[in-house]
Amino acid sequence: MKFLNLRYDFDWGIPFREPYVGWLITGVELTFLIAAVTTVLSLLAGTVLAVLRTTRFKFLNIPAKIYVETVRNIPGLFWLLFFYFIFPQMLPFGLTDVLNRYTYYSVVAGILGLTVDNSAYVSDIVRTGLLSVPRGRIEAAVSTGLNRFQQIRYIILPDAFRAILPPLGTRMIHNFKNSSLCMAIAAPELTWATQQVESITFRGLEVTLLATAFYIGISLFLAILMIRLERFLKIDVTSMTQMRN
Amino acid sequence: MKRSSVIVLLSALLLVSLVSLAAGEGLLDEVKKRGVVRIGIGNATPPMNYIDEKGVWTGFDVDLGDEIAKRLGVKVERVLVDNKTRIAFLANRSIDISLANISVTNSRQEQMDYAEPPYFWTGKIFYAKKGKFKSLKDLGGKKIGVDQGSNAFIAAPQELAKHSDKKPEMLSFQNSAEGFLALKQGKIDAYSQDAPIMAAVSGSLGAEYEAVAGMIYSPGLYGIGVPENDSDWRDRISFILQDMLEDGTYEKLYLKWFGPKGTFPMSVNSRPRLSDTYGDMLFVWPD
Amino acid sequence: MEFLFEQLANWRFYLIGAYPNGPLTGLVLNIVLAVLSIVIGLFFGILFGLGRTSCRGYLRHPCGLYVDVIRSTPLLLILFWFYFFLPVVGAKMPLFWCAVISLSVYASAYQAEIVRAGILTVPLGQMEAALSTGMTRYQAVKLIILPQAFKKMLPSFVSFFNSLFKSTSIVYIVGIVDLTRTGVIISQRQPNRIYAAYICMAMGFWISCYLLSLASQWLEKRLGILDYESYKPEICRQDLVLLPLPKTVKRLLVSHK
């Protein structure tokens, strides 16, 4: 294949040869695992943080605010390195060794780091949603005799989640893409696998093409899924933005 | 309207000029004409190349590169490479010389050529806590860390297979310093890298660590990488290196870095030489 | 604690490294990368953003494709593409410019979305009013539409700049000595200073990002923020058509909605 002075002969056998194919498959699995677990964890953590931030009790909302402000202003990569190298050393004796000896600690650290990073953004989004629930809905809930927990559980959160679904979806796609950062801490996810193939065979173009296609495909798939979900939940996107044509 | 199209045209031109197509002539003429030699050097492997506490890019490779450029009579442009790009960049001619602690190996020979002789002679060790492992046999089935892009990823399991049936678990890090930190924290049981690099990376903590069984298991003879099939260029660099060895410049550099009063004093002799300590291993390139 | 002060006394290494006697490293490098790429990204972002609101399918769809593809690719992989594989087609450039270009490409896609969302907030009547005063379409876009849109976009730009600034830390992975790597270098060279080094690294990012987020919050309060990230169905702005086309061509290409 020669065009544009291309100094590269494609060998499409490489991605399908042992052991490279094994690395790539593990990489895809781990990428999915990291993305799925961090999505669930950061949704939970973000929601809790957002609820804490909207309460009136200072001893609850100030720590939550400090957490969010700290995490949001520091890059995700820092949190990955922090959880890989620093966090186990801070634990009381015994736990340090347990974590460090664990073979897949890099994956655990990746999940922890990305969750911490993502939860702050999720909490921001959820908080916006909570604040956007009309006062009247809450008053109506109070008047039907629901207690505070029931109000949050049955009225405010469902309403808020519907309103924030679009930005939340974008955030989760971000999170999926961010899983590639885990290669910095030796977690054998997909981007790491492509680099590993490159470093052994010196031919990384094929695998990187495949990996890029994979990321684009999954991201677009998730984006379309979110649109379907929004339609299913009858969120009128057009009414939320100013549209003139 | 006109102004905007001029801007578009200018930006297009800028892009095209960035995409400068390489000429087909020999590299030696090209470098002479350009007046600049592009040397690929890493920045994460003390003592060969690293960023010091003041933020200065330094190391043995850096000094050697400067000297080569001086002898070529051209300016030096240092291009930052890492363990993965130091060979890829040569293959696609982003750099003219790769001076980034590249051990000569068989698989690399297919991608690049080396100036003769290899400029630094050392070897790979398994680095671990003192007294933890008696022999290489104990390393079977353990977690071994390597640099991503180091040939230890291939050489270490090969060597361990000779001693033990249990397969080691390989983890690859972005650079030796991260790997050493992981070793220190017990995330891996041993780290495999060239001896002087491990000594420099561990620094003051070196006293707590040792090479397992005190042995070098695979030769790491660092070559100056040059692009494939350009014998004029390769010979020119080889002659420069040989001149430096002959007139004492190399010795001066070596003492500056590794001599008794050097930055990283080293008791083992790593100068290029005829076979003595390496015995049979010398001319058997690792995979 | 005294380790932390000792590290703070070493501020030069974290901020600029050996510059001007050596390569620029540290926090200032992150800032330079972010500023350069947001400026270059803005230029292309406006082009792609205008393209994405164009009613001409042959402009809108390629721009849309570009934005979608770039936004679906991890920044790390964009960086690898420019770092490893641009040289394969014969393009050579220093690592610093690789980083700037890949960050610019990344930024341009997001900024195109901001520009698009901003343009869509400008009422249609503005164009008609501008044209009726005798302006050309180009003048109207430049003097009437874009300035109004920019006012709406500004808070989004500042908050995107904040996120881009944080993203510059990934150049760490290809070996550029940014603030992350300076912290990691110290933590590895002086193992007992590991906490201090990480705290310094975090503080460098935190202070700069916190100032930026204060600025963006202030702007958001004054000007309101655009919801540029969530999906909107494909729409175009008939009034923004810049190039006059012959009527026959127009009939073939422009679908009236």
Distances (CA, A) of B28 to B31, B69, B96, B109, B241: 5, 12, 9, 21, 15
Q: Which residues of C touch A181 (CB under 8 A)?
A: 74, 76, 170, 173
Residue A2 lies in a domain: no
Considering only CB atoms, which chain B residues are within 8 Å of A202? 87-88, 91, 108, 111
> B26-40, B267-281, C175-189: lowest mean pLDDT where?
B267-281
B–C CB contacts, 8 A cutoff, strictly below: 93
The whole-number pLDDT of residue B20 equals 41
Query: Phi, psi (5° rounding) for residue B35?
Result: 80, 5
Average pLDDT over chain A reads 86
Against chain C, the chains showing at least 3 CB pairs within 8 Å are A, B
> Domain residues of chain B, as ranges?
25-121+222-283, 123-219
Confidence check: pLDDT of A151 > 90: no
Contact A50, A126 (CB under 8 A): yes
Q: What is the pLDDT of residue A160?
A: 80
pLDDT band at A3, cuts 50/70/90? very low
Residue A27 near residue A15 (C-beta atoms within 8 A)? no
Best CA proximity match to B126, nearest among B149, B152, B162, B106: B152
Choice between B281 and B137, residue whose per-residue pLDDT is larger: B137
Chains that touch B (3 or more CB pairs under 8 A): A, C
Least confident of A9-13, B4-8, C186-190: B4-8
Segment C149-162 mean pLDDT: 90
Decide if A204 touches B, using CB distance below 8 A. yes
Nearest beta carbon to residue C18 from set B55, B85, B94: B55
pTM tops 0.90: no
Q: Hey, which residues 166-225 in chain B have their CB within 8 Å of chain A? A: 169, 171-174, 178, 181-182, 185-187
Domains of chain C: 27-180+212-253 (1.10.3720.10)
Q: Say if C121 is an interface residue toward chain A (CB within 8 Å).
A: yes
C166 pLDDT more than 80 = yes
Cα–Cα distance, B75 to B35 (Å, whole number)? 6
Report the CATH number of the B25-121+222-283 domain: 3.40.190.10
Q: Taking residues B249-258, what's their average pLDDT? A: 91
Least confidently predicted of B31-35, B37-41, B139-143, B281-285:
B281-285
Mean pLDDT of A16-28: 90
* pLDDT, tens digit, 9 for 90 and up, residues B192-243: 999 889 888 888 788 889 888 888 888 888 999 999 888 899 999 999 998 9
pLDDT of B58 strictly over 70: yes
d(CA C162, CA A83): 23
H or E element: which one contains C103? Answer: helix C95-120
Per-chain mean pLDDT for chain C: 84
Percent of chain C having pLDDT more than 70? Answer: 89
The yes-or-no verdict on residue B283 having pLDDT over 50 is: no
pLDDT at A237: 47
Q: Which residue has the higher pLDDT, A91 or A30?
A: A30
pLDDT score at B16: 47
Residue of C nearest to B85 (CA): C84
Taking the C-alpha atoms of residue C208 and residue C30, their distance in angstroms, rounded to an integer, is: 10
Question: Which amino acid is located at C97 in the chain?
Answer: W
A chain contacts of residue C80, beta-carbon cutoff 8 Å: 191, 194-195, 208
Q: Which position has the higher pLDDT, A191 or A8? A: A191
- Whether pLDDT at A235 is above 80: no
Mean pLDDT of chain B: 83
- Residue B80: which pLDDT band, with cuts at 50, 70 and 90? confident
Confidence of residue C249 (pLDDT cuts 50, 70, 90): low
Q: Name the least confident of B229-233, C46-50, C81-85.
A: C81-85
Token duo for residue C177 = 């000595």
Query: What span, in angstroms and rounded, lies between the C-alpha atoms of B228 and B220?
Result: 21
CA neighbor of A86 nearest in space, from A185, A182, A181, A179: A185
Picking from B92, B98, B148, B189 by the largest number of A CB atoms within 10 A of its own CB, the best residue to mutate is B148
Please give the structure tokens belonging to residue A143.
């008047």
Q: Does A86 touch chain B (CB under 8 A)?
A: no
Q: Is the pLDDT of residue A136 over 80?
A: yes
pLDDT tens column, C203-231: 999 999 999 999 988 998 888 777 776 65
Q: For residues C178 and A135, which has the higher predicted lDDT (pLDDT)?
A: C178
Distance from C-alpha of B131 to C-alpha of C239, rounded to nearest angstrom: 78
Residue A4 has pLDDT above 80, yes or no: no
Nearest C-alpha in B relative to A96: B185
- Range(s) of the domain holding residue A42: 19-235
Q: And the tokens for A112?
A: 């922890």
Flag whether residue B263 sits within 8 Å of chain A, measured between CB atoms: no
Question: Could you give the CA distance from residue B245 to residue B222 in angstroms, rounded to a whole number?
Answer: 15
Contact assignment for C229 to A170 by CB distance below 8 Å: yes
Q: How many domains does chain A have?
A: 1
Residue A244 falls inside a structural domain: no
- The CATH number corresponding to B123-219 among 3.40.640.10, 2.60.40.10, 3.40.50.720, 3.40.190.10 equals 3.40.190.10
ipTM score = 0.86
A207 close to A12: Cβ distance less than 8 angstroms: no
Q: What is the pLDDT of residue C151?
A: 86
Residue A238's pLDDT band, with cuts at 50, 70 and 90, is very low
- For A154-186, the pLDDT digits (tens) are 888 788 878 888 889 999 999 999 999 999 888
Q: Is the pLDDT of residue C161 over 60?
A: yes
Of A88, A96, A202, the CB nearest to B111: A202
Domain of residue A122, CATH code: 1.10.3720.10
Please report which confidence band the pLDDT of residue A72 belongs to, taking 50, 70 and 90 as the band edges.
very high
**Is the predicted pLDDT of residue C33 greater than 70, yes or no?**
yes
Euclidean distance between the first and the last CA atom of chain B, given in angstroms as a whole number = 61
Choice between B131 and C124, residue whose per-residue pLDDT is larger? B131
The amino acid present at C25, given as its one-letter code, is T
- Residues A147, A152, A158, A162, CA torsion sign: positive
Evaluate whether C201 touches C209 at the Cβ level (below 8 Å): no
Q: What is the mean pLDDT of residues A138-157?
A: 83
What's the token pair of residue A214? 């994979």
pLDDT tens by residue, A92-103? 878 888 888 888
B106 CB within 8 Å of a chain A CB? no
A220 inside domain: yes
Element (H, E) at B225: strand B218-226
Closest-approach residue (CA) in chain C for B93: C87
Q: Looking at residue A154, what DSSP letter applies?
A: I
Task: Please give the share of chain C, as a percent, with pLDDT higher than 90.
Answer: 35
Residue A244: its pLDDT value, please?
A: 36
d(CA C43, CA B31): 35
Tokens of B167: 């397969």
β partners of residue C254: C56
